[in-house]
Amino acid sequence: MNITEALEYIHTVNWTFCKPGLERTYELCSQLGNPQNNLKFIHVAGTNGKGSFCSMLSSVLLAQGYKVGLYTSPYIKCFNERMQINGEMISDDELCKITEKIKPVADKMQDKPTEFELVTAIAFEYFSRNKCDYVVLECGLGGRLDSTNVINTSILSVITGISLDHTSILGNTVFEIAKEKAGIIKSGVPCLWCGNSGEAYSSIKAIAQEKNSLLYLVDRSSVNVKSSTLDGTFFDFEEYKNVKINLLGEYQVINAVNVLSAIKILNNLGVVIDESSIYIGMKNATWLARFEKLSSDPLIIFDGGHNPEGVDLCVKSVKNYFGKEKLIVLTGILADKDYSYIGKKLGEIASEVHCITPINPRALPAQDYSNEFSKQGIQAYSYNTIDKGVKNAIKRAKESGKAVLCTGSLYLYSHIYDEIKKH
């Protein structure tokens, strides 16, 4: 099996977007000898901020000298990004070998696994084979019935924040969604709640009490942002002074403080993390598509905000960096998102909008999205291809001297990135 064959198999094993239940993952992992049982996990759920949190925490653990596995989704540029050890993606060769091992097991299952369930099993096998000291494990969707939740236990559960997203699957209220996310809490294992919703907190607190889990909250009262530019951010938090992060976006300070709070808990649990490793790891952390500067001339930023909370944070960051200056917005979204609200929010910082259609069966047509901005009196354009939208947005940026904000579906990233590099 070569890499093309492996990826074709992974992507076609089951086209079901979401098929609730852990039975298939339990069966698949059992047939593989339960590789997940050999690992120590920090399990992370939440609506937004999971990826950035996982990236920073894994970077700190790596700086300390641990062998660190990182499991995230979705991938941004390359499938192999989804599972990494010490910052290096799984190699094509190892991915092929593990897929070859798992394929006959999955093929024999009466109830075939979904793509995400298959990928999760591959990741567990990969981390186990390489004897990782710790694995930072990001949930794919929800928590309670997410395939990552077949792990017997973790050393720490983290819930980054809760807002309305995937309501058709997780529930129609923040309380219901929080209950699903809190399903990752394990008996007797501490949990860190990083959000600010009282409704979500009450749901999470009840489950933590049921599981006899000590629930920690993040106290941001001492946070002091000393400087924040497109070259990075310096901030103080409690005893940590002048911490630098290169991840952009005002919300990354929140994510960084969440990580520092998690580190304190891990230290209390016996996970040794020196102060020097914290500073180095936070500074070295990288994460694609989260207020990422893709070009300086013209200035082009990509932010993958694709739900109300994510877009709120993106718009807040734009106002923080650019003040009252309006930007050229290049955007595309999936139809199952609250695109009416997102369009109104982006309208606050847009001088003009260029709408494109993500390459995804759930995509909202560019013309429909464009209409949302036209209703606000904002000049909006729609394109039948992504490359035309990118070219015209860049052209307008050069003519006007304005920056471009690319935002919306993460499925757009690689296409926009590749097109920008041509100019």
**Which of 252, 378, 262 is CA-nearest to residue 327?**
378
Sheet containing 224-229: which strands, arranged edge to edge?
224-229, 232-237, 240-245
The domain spanning residue 107 has which CATH number? 3.40.1190.10
Cβ neighbours around 78 below 10 Å, total: 9
420 or 141, higher pLDDT: 420
Token digits of residue 351? 């001088």
Q: Do residues 358 and 247 both lie within one domain?
A: no
Say how many domains are in the chain. 2
> What is the average pLDDT score of the chain?
93
Question: CA 5: distance to chain centroid?
Answer: 27
State the pLDDT at residue 269.
97
Q: Which neighbouring-strand residues pair with 136? A: 42, 70
Specify whether the CB–CB gap between 416 and 406 falls below 8 A: yes
Question: CA 221: distance to chain centroid?
Answer: 25
220, 252, 284 - which closes a domain: 284
Specify whether the CB–CB gap between 240 and 264 falls below 8 A: no
Q: Which helix (H) or strand (E) holds 396?
A: helix 386-400
Distances (CA, A) of 40 to 184, 193, 211: 14, 20, 19
Q: Do residues 68 and 29 both lie within one domain?
A: yes
Q: Do residues 196 and 305 both lie within one domain?
A: no
Q: Do residues 177 and 100 both lie within one domain?
A: yes
| Helix, strand, coil share of the chain (percent; to 5) | 45, 20, 35
Q: Counting runs of H as helices and runs of E as strands, what totals does the chain give?
A: 15, 17
State the pLDDT at residue 170.
54
Relative orientation angle of helices 115-129 and 92-108, to the nearest 10 degrees: 130
pLDDT tens, 53-94?
A: 999 999 999 999 999 999 998 888 899 999 999 999 999 999
**Which of 104, 167, 103 is CA-nearest to residue 141?**
167
State the pLDDT at residue 13.
67
Q: Do residues 363 and 401 both lie within one domain?
A: yes
Specify whether the CB–CB gap between 70 and 55 falls below 8 A: yes
pLDDT tens, 117-163?
A: 999 999 999 999 999 999 999 998 788 999 999 999 999 999 998 86
Amino acid type, 15: W
Which pLDDT band holds residue 337 (cuts at 50, 70, 90)? Answer: confident
pTM to 2 decimals?
Answer: 0.89
pLDDT tens, 162-188?
A: 865 544 445 558 888 899 899 999 999
The domain spanning residue 406 has which CATH number? 3.90.190.20
Expressed as residue numbers, the domain containing 29 is: 3-284
Specify whether the CB–CB gap between 62 and 285 falls below 8 A: no
Examine residue 298 and say whether the peptide bond preceding it is cis (omega within 30 degrees of 0). yes
> Measured on CA atoms in the order 145, 147, 148, 154, is the torsion positive or negative?
positive
pLDDT tens, 88-118?
A: 999 999 999 999 999 999 999 999 999 999 9
Give the integer Cα–Cα distance in Å for 387 and 423: 11
Q: Do residues 271 and 314 both lie within one domain?
A: no
Three-class secondary structure of residue 29 per DSSP: helix
Question: Tokens 């001339």 map to which residue?
Answer: 297
Specify whether the CB–CB gap between 136 and 45 falls below 8 A: no
Cβ neighbours around 87 below 10 Å, total: 14
State the pLDDT at residue 172.
58
Give the integer Cα–Cα distance in Å for 169 and 162: 14
Q: In this structure, what are the phi and psi dihedrals at residue 231, rounded to the nearest 5 degrees?
A: -100, 0
Q: Do residues 159 and 305 both lie within one domain?
A: no
Q: Do residues 150 and 258 both lie within one domain?
A: yes
Q: Do residues 254 and 372 both lie within one domain?
A: no
Q: Do residues 249 and 298 both lie within one domain?
A: no
Cα-based angle 9, 139, 99 (whole degrees, multiple of 5): 25
Q: Do residues 235 and 321 both lie within one domain?
A: no
Give the integer Cα–Cα distance in Å for 278 and 57: 9
Q: Do residues 266 and 301 both lie within one domain?
A: no
256, 284, 312 - which closes a domain: 284
249, 284, 319 - which closes a domain: 284
Amino acid type, 39: L
Question: Tokens 């009490």 map to which residue?
Answer: 209
pLDDT tens, 186-218?
A: 999 999 999 988 888 999 999 999 999 999 999
State the pLDDT at residue 15.
46
Residue 367, CA atoms < 13 Å, CB-side half-sphere: 1
State the pLDDT at residue 305.
84
